[in-house]
Amino acid sequence: MNKLETGSAIWVKLPANVLGGLKIGYQVNAWSNGIIAESMPRQTTGIQVQVVSYETGNADVKGKVTALNVDKADQTSIEVDGQKYVLQLYTKYWLNNSLAQLQDIQLEDKVEVWLTGYGDRDDIAAQVKVER
């Protein structure tokens, strides 16, 4: 068993059917195939996940959608109250607590955005939640 020191992070790649119900902020225990890449951050392939806490915490950004930039091949983004946030392939979308897609978001929607918080970028969205 490869036990990580407290406060360390590891990227765990999971099958899509496991990721469906997970939200950014959940605390989870993950089991891997045992192979961990010593990159920064560390990476592994997950085989099982147990949710320890369903609390998602507070969003980093709350406001109204003022623009959606989905036609640009180089960078898809959302603007919340005029501030631009980059959307990645892994960004998760929620509409009224159900898994959704980027196409479900509309101008003037009230949204909450959780940011990835890695590296020197503070504009990459990990999760966008819409309440209508």
Q: Is residue 92 part of a domain?
A: yes
pLDDT at residue number 70: 84
Tens-digit pLDDT profile for residues 13-36: 887 777 767 887 888 888 888 888
pLDDT at residue number 18: 74
pLDDT at residue number 109: 97
pLDDT at residue number 26: 84
Comparing 46-50, 56-60, 69-73, which segment has the lowest mean pLDDT? 69-73
Report how many domains make up the chain: 2
Q: What is the CATH number of the domain that holds 108?
A: 2.40.50.320
CA distances 111 to 35, 57, 85, Å, are 38, 15, 12
Handedness of CA 17, 19, 23, 29 (dihedral sign): positive
Looking at the structure, do residues 84 and 27 belong to the same domain, yes or no? no
The band of 107, judged by pLDDT with boundaries at 50, 70 and 90, is very high
Q: Is residue 14 part of a domain?
A: yes
pLDDT at residue number 80: 97
Question: Does pLDDT of 1 surpass 70?
Answer: no
Q: Is residue 81 part of a domain?
A: yes
Mean pLDDT of 82-98: 91
Q: How far apart are CA 123 and CA 77, in angstroms?
A: 10
Q: Is residue 4 part of a domain?
A: no
Looking at the structure, do residues 16 and 70 belong to the same domain, yes or no? no
Looking at the structure, do residues 80 and 111 belong to the same domain, yes or no? yes
DSSP state of 6: T
Please count the residues of the chain. 132
Looking at the structure, do residues 28 and 71 belong to the same domain, yes or no? no
Looking at the structure, do residues 77 and 116 belong to the same domain, yes or no? yes
Closest CA to 109 of 126, 123, 128, 124: 128
pLDDT at residue number 73: 63
Looking at the structure, do residues 44 and 82 belong to the same domain, yes or no? no
Q: Is residue 2 part of a domain?
A: no
Most distant CA pair in the chain, distance: 49
**Higher pLDDT among residues 4 and 95, named by residue:** 95
Looking at the structure, do residues 45 and 79 belong to the same domain, yes or no? no
The band of 76, judged by pLDDT with boundaries at 50, 70 and 90, is very high
What's the domain range around 32?
A: 10-53
